[in-house]
Chains A and B, each alone.
Chain A
Amino acid sequence: MSRRIHVLPGFGLSLGYTLVYLSLIVLLPLSAVFLKTATLTLQQFWDVISAPRVLASFKLSFGAALLAAAINAVFGLMLAWCIVRYEFFGKKLIDALVDLPFALPTAVAGIALTALYAPNGWIGSLLAPHDIKVAFTPLGVLVALIFIGLPFVVRTVQPILEDMETELEEAAASLGAQRWQTFRHVILPTLAPALLTGFALAFARAVGEYGSVIFIAGNMPMVSEIAPLMIITKLEQYDYTGATAIAVAMLLISFALLLAINLLQGWNKKGKR
C-alpha cells in the first residue's frame, strides 16, 4: 500500500482535538443516558413508558409534530414557490424573516404565541365567540410546532426550486399538459425528496421542542402535556431513571421514524431509475 504524502501539517493536532472535545462535550454525557437505562430491567422500562400519562404525552408530541410538519410541508412549499417565482411587495424582508424561528429564542416565541391565542389576545378574542380555544389546549401545541417548523421546509425546498430547469415545464406545456398537470407530474416529483427532507427536519425538531410549547400548552395531565415536559416532571420528582427511560424512548422513536423516511426516500429514488 502506498502512502500518500501530505504537504499540509496539523492533521494529528486538529483531528485529535476534534475527537477529545467531541467526546468530552457530546459523547460521554450522551452515553450517560444509555448507561443509566441499562440499569433498568425491560419490565421497569416498560412500566415507565406505558404509564397512561406518559403514553398520552407521547401521543400528543408525536401526533402534533406529524400534523405540524404536514401543514408546514403544504404552506412551506407554497411560500417557497411564491418567493422564487413571484414578485411582491416586501419579498426580500419576508425571505429574511422566514428564518425568524431559528433566531428567536423559543421562550420568547412561546409567550408571544400565548399572548396572541389566549382568550383575551388578538387572535384568541376573535375565535372565542365561535367557541374555539387554542391556547391551553392541544391545538396550542400544534400552533407552536407550526411556528418552529416552517423554515425547515421553506429552506430545503427553496434552493431546489431555484435550480430547477424550466425546460421540463416548457416541454410539458408544448406537449399539451395543463399547468396543474405539469405541476403534479413534472414539478412535484422533482421537489419531492427536498419536501420530504424538510418535512423530516421539521418533524424531528417539533418532537423535541420544549420552550415554545410549554407556555401555550397549559400542561394539563393526559390532555396537553408533551413528552419533554414529562422528562422535566420526572426530574423534579428526582426520578432520574423515569426521566431517562422517557428520553431513551423519545430518541429511539424519532430515530426509527427518521430512518423510515430516509429508506422511503432511497426507495423513491431507486424507483425512478
Chain B
Amino acid sequence: MSAAAASLPVHVPVRTHRDYQASPATREASWVRWTLLALSLGFFALFLLLPLVAVFAEALRKGWGVYFAALVEPDAVASIKLTLLAAVIAVPLNLVFGIAAAWAIAKFEFRGKQFLITLIDLPFSVSPVIAGLIYVLVFGAQGWFGPWLQEHDVKILFAVPGIVLATIFVTFPFVARELIPLMEAQGREEEEAAIVLGASGWQAFWRVTLPNVKWGLLYGVILCNARAMGEFGAVSVVSGHIRGLTNTLPLHVEILYNEYNFAAAFAVASLLALLALVTLALKTYIESRQEYVA
C-alpha cells in the first residue's frame, strides 16, 4: 500500500507548463503564482532538502579524517557486509516471486485474483515494528518454533536469518506490484504468438515477456533494494543489536547516535543517503526511458 504512489508512471503528460500559461482561463494572477511557488518551494526546502543537506554537513563537521575513520572501523565494515548480505538474499527471492506472481495474475484468469493482489500488498500496510514482532512470535523463545529451535541449537531470532527474513517481509511486494500492472497492460497475444510458432514456455518468457518488462522490472528491483538496505524498524526488533554480528547499517547508525558519537553516526548515515540519491537518479532515468518508449 505504501508504495502505491511510487509505481512507475506509464502515461506521458499531454501538456507542458507553457500550455497552461498561454490562456488566461488556465492561468493565475502573478501574485498568486509567486505565493504558491514560494510556499511550496519553502515547504520543500524546509522538510526535504534541509534534512538531506544536514546529513552531509554533520558527517563532515569534524573533517574527512574522522569521516573515513568511521567508515573503515571494523563494526562499520561488519554492518556494511550484513546489509549487503540481507539485500543480496532478499532482492533475488522477491524478484523471482514478483515474476511468478505477475505471470500468474497478468496472463491468466482465475477467481480471487483481486484478493490475491490485496494479500501481496499486505506487508506495505503493516507497521515495520509489527513486521518484526510477527517473527518474534514465530521464532522467539515463547514462540511457535522457539522450543524446537532451542533444542536443535538453531538461531533465527537475534541472528542473521531473522534479519534476512524481516528484510524479505518488508520488501515483499515491490517487484510484484511493478510487474503486475505492466504485464496486464501488455496482454498475452505476443506470448501466445510465440508459443503457436513453436517456442517453448521458457523461450516465450525469456525472449518475449522479459524484454517487454525489463524497465519495470529494474524499477521494482531498485526500489526493493533501497528498502532492503535501509529498513530499520522491522530489523531492529529481530536483530538483538549485537555489535559486529547482527547490526545492519541503519542499526549501526542508531548505536553510534545513541552513544553521542554524532560525527561517526552521520558519516555512516551519509553512505545510506548516497544510496538514496543513486536510487532516485536511477529511478528518474528509468522513468524518462519509459516515457520515451511510450
Instruction: Tell which of B19, B40, B136, B226 touches A82, judged by Cβ atoms closer than 8 Å.
Output: B40
Given A108-B253, A243-B133, does the pair A18, B230 have CB atoms closer than 8 Å? no
Would B191 and A8 count as touching, CB distance under 8 A? yes
CB within 8 Å for A166 and B15 given contacts A79-B43, A82-B40, A116-B51: yes
A75 to B48, CA, bound (A): 13
Contacts of A99 in B (CB 8 A): 6, 280, 283
Interface segment out of the listed B70-78, B115-123, B210-218: B115-123
- Least CB distance from A193 to B in Å reads 14
Within 8 A of B (CB), among A97-146: 97-109, 111-113, 115-116, 121-123, 143, 146
Residue A28 interfacial (CB < 8 Å): yes
Q: Are A179 and B32 in contact (CB under 8 A)?
A: yes
Q: Which residues of B, 238-294, contact A by the 8 Å Cβ criterion?
A: 249-251, 253-254, 257, 262, 265-266, 269, 272-273, 275-277, 279-281, 283-284
Assess whether A112 is in contact with B108, with CB atoms less than 8 Å apart. no
A106 near B54 with CB under 8 A, answer no
B contacts with A, residue count (CB < 8 A): 115
Does B169 make an interface contact (CB < 8 A)? Answer: yes
A75 to B202, CA, bound (A): 48
17 additional A-B pairs beyond A22-B101, A78-B36, beta carbons within 8 Å, are A15-B104, A17-B97, A27-B119, A79-B43, A84-B20, A86-B17, A87-B17, A88-B37, A96-B281, A97-B52, A112-B266, A159-B9, A163-B13, A163-B14, A179-B29, A210-B128, A250-B127
Considering only residues 2-57 of chain A, those with a C-beta below 8 Å from chain B are 4, 6-11, 13-15, 17-18, 21-22, 25-30, 32-33, 36
Q: Are A10 and B201 in contact (CB under 8 A)?
A: yes
| Contact (Cβ within 8 A) A25 B168 | yes
Q: Is the CB of A107 within 8 A of B253?
A: yes
> Which residues on the B side are within 8 Å of A102 (C-beta)?
3, 6, 223, 226
Residue of A nearest to B265 (CB): A111
Q: Pick the contact of B122 from A30, A75, A179, A243 — CB < 8 Å?
A: A30
Q: What separation, in Å, do the CA atoms of A111 and B133 have in the docked complex?
A: 24
Asked if A155 meets B138 with Cβ closer than 8 Å, knowing A11-B108, A100-B52, A112-B51, the reply is no
Q: Chain A residues near B191: list those with CB within 8 A.
A: 7-8
How far is it, in angstroms, between the C-alpha of A78 and the C-alpha of B249 when the chains are bound?
35
- Interface contact A231-B130, CB-CB below 8 Å: yes
Which chain B positions have C-beta within 8 A of A208? 126-130
B172 at the interface (CB under 8 A from A): yes
Q: List 18 A-B contacts (CB under 8 A).
A: A8-B204, A14-B101, A22-B116, A32-B134, A75-B43, A84-B20, A100-B52, A106-B230, A107-B253, A107-B254, A107-B272, A108-B272, A150-B47, A170-B25, A210-B127, A231-B129, A240-B137, A244-B133
